[in-house]
Amino acid sequence: MDTRRLLRTFAIGIGTAGLLISGCSGGGSSPSASATGTAAPEELSSYYTQKLSWRDCGVEGFECTTMKAPRDYEKPDDGDIGLAVSRKKATGPGERIGSLLVNPGGPGGSAIGYLQGYAALGYPAPVRARYDMVAIDPRGVARSEPVECLTGKEMDTYTQVDQTPDDEAEVQELKGAFEKFAAGCEKRSGEILPYVSTVDTARDMDILRGLLGDEKLHYVGASYGTFLGATYAELFPDRAGRLVLDGAMDPSLKAIDMNRDQTAGFEGAFQSFAADCVKQPDCPLGTTTTADAATALKQLFADLDAKPIPTGDDRELGESLATTGVIAAMYDEAAWPQLREALEGAQRSDGSGLLSLADSYYEREPDGRYANLMFANAAVNCLDLPPAFDGPDAVEKAVPGFEKASPVFGRGFAWASLNCAYWPTKATGTPHRTEAKGADPIVVVGTTRDPATPYKWSESLAAQLSSGTLLTYDGDGHTAYGRGSDCIDTAINTYLLDGTPPTDGKKCT
């Protein structure tokens, strides 16, 4: 799966950090004592003893099933939720270790899509040989009773709303877009919105662990998936097995701090892109300095704000979609040539390239349908953390700090952080340190120039976890496992296969 889809962060209204940050979700209620015992609580025994009926998925080599979990863990007798699960059994040779659960992040990314499209086929052969590769779409996501909010046409309108309002009328238009989004979610999915938190999903994972017959949960989570994995370890430290948390989030941060950190992360990623771009003869942002490149990009955004350009589609490319397109390419340096071409096209009044990048970020299909990722993203983020801002006045006061973090993206990231202020369901999570005392060694992987999950978050989570060990990739892009570093891959493979974690502080290039 394209790593750009692992953690969303900039679209209008998603996350407390705009599309992302809440987007990146980072809170969660603390576990109750009854959740951490070795035996399932009596009131949940029927869920831990249900029989899974595996069937052919229609995808060669994979099996699928649906498991039941309580919609409300506080009132398990009030009804169930159906959760989609898929697996590909260990291929051998070698003794089977157990199941390896994977999650690509989001929140809102389909873990089953990631499993069937990449993990169960592209993870190192020795890992696939000895683990059943397994995924569960989190509640509210994709195949697991998905949250729905807007129609395709409504989403087209939503994604084009100006994210850098210049006057009161534009502020009210943006506020109205957030309110309409939230109202759509409440209308179409109000019954499930209170029950899609990261804590709920972590508890679902433990039911699945039990049903798969594993004493401990082995897990690889990327981006937001690191927060999900850390939450599991916090809830069930005695059941946490070999956990890899790649591109980590810091659960101790407030939404506004996470959003501002991520703003700086994307600025750093843009600086890396610009430094490479100005060395290229075809750089559309000039061939002098990164500062000149930033100025050129800001001017392009301003021009598109004043006068959108055609795309060959029935949508024009304005500043909002153009910014999202640039952000999408920051997740992976392999997308930089595509971004250069798209920017050059925009300068010729051809917005198709940047629109294509933005559509990939939003998971918009050519026929105008959207996957539910953006809806689930908001639903989880706005439940996991209190909103970054309570209204437009608070955003205006914070804009200078965001612009200091990123002269290019700061204003837009600040305003995108407003969406959870209008969410219909009150947040149940709070920022807190996550220690998971008693858990086996947990490997936290950080990339030094990761735009979406800044490296200092990995440093912080590794330090918080009582058994955390930090593995560093000195490089660009979002996450590190499977991205070309033999050093990183060998360290993680060794940990997954024989349980030996890398030395704390190990660095790879």
pLDDT of 78 reads: 94
Report whether pLDDT(99) > 60: yes
User: Which residues are identified as catalytic?
Assistant: 223, 450, 478
> How many helices and strands (H and E) does the chain possess?
19, 11
Cα separation of 14 and 28, whole Å? 17
Picking from 375, 377, 398, the residue whose alpha carbon sits closest to that of residue 388 is 398
One DSSP character per residue, 418-430 reads TGGGG-SS----B
Q: Which two tokens stand for residue 419?
A: 């969406």
Mean pLDDT across the stretch 255-267?
96
- Say if residues 374 and 400 touch (Cβ distance below 8 Å): no
Mean pLDDT across the stretch 113-127?
96
265 Cβ contact partners less than 8 Å away, ≥ 6 residues apart: 450, 451, 452, 453, 454
Report whether pLDDT(237) > 60: yes
pLDDT of 41 reads: 85
Q: Which two tokens stand for residue 398?
A: 């914070």
Mean pLDDT across the stretch 375-380?
97
Percentage of the chain beyond pLDDT 90 is: 91
Cα separation of 451 and 447, whole Å? 9
Report whether pLDDT(22) > 90: no
Mean per-residue pLDDT over the chain, rounded: 92
Report whether pLDDT(6) > 50: no
Report whether pLDDT(294) > 60: yes
- Say if residues 67 and 46 touch (Cβ distance below 8 Å): no
164 Cβ contact partners less than 8 Å away, ≥ 6 residues apart: 301, 305, 319, 411, 412, 415
Cα separation of 100 and 134, whole Å? 6
DSSP state of 370: B
Report whether pLDDT(38) > 70: no
Picking from 407, 465, 413, the residue whose alpha carbon sits closest to that of residue 437 is 465
pLDDT of 10 reads: 31
DSSP state of 50: P
Q: What is the pLDDT of residues 269-283, one digit of tens each?
A: 999 999 999 999 999
Q: What is the pLDDT of residues 189-234, one digit of tens each?
A: 999 999 999 999 999 999 999 999 999 999 999 999 999 999 999 9
Give the CA distances from residue 78 to residues 41, 71, 232, 285, 440, in Å, rounded to whole numbers and listed in that order.
16, 7, 24, 58, 35
Q: Which residues pair with 100 in a beta bridge?
A: 133, 218
Q: What is the pLDDT of residues 437-492, one digit of tens each?
A: 999 999 999 999 999 999 999 999 999 999 999 999 999 999 999 989 999 999 99
DSSP state of 372: T
Find how far residue 398's CA is from the centre of its chain.
24
**HEC states along 229-249?**
HHHHHHHCHHHEEEEEEECCC
Cα separation of 194 and 67, whole Å? 20
Give me the amino acid identity at 461. L
Cα separation of 290 and 278, whole Å? 7
Mean pLDDT across the stretch 101-125?
96
Percentage of the chain beyond pLDDT 70 is: 92
- State the pairing for strand pair 131-136/468-476: unpaired
Report whether pLDDT(4) > 90: no
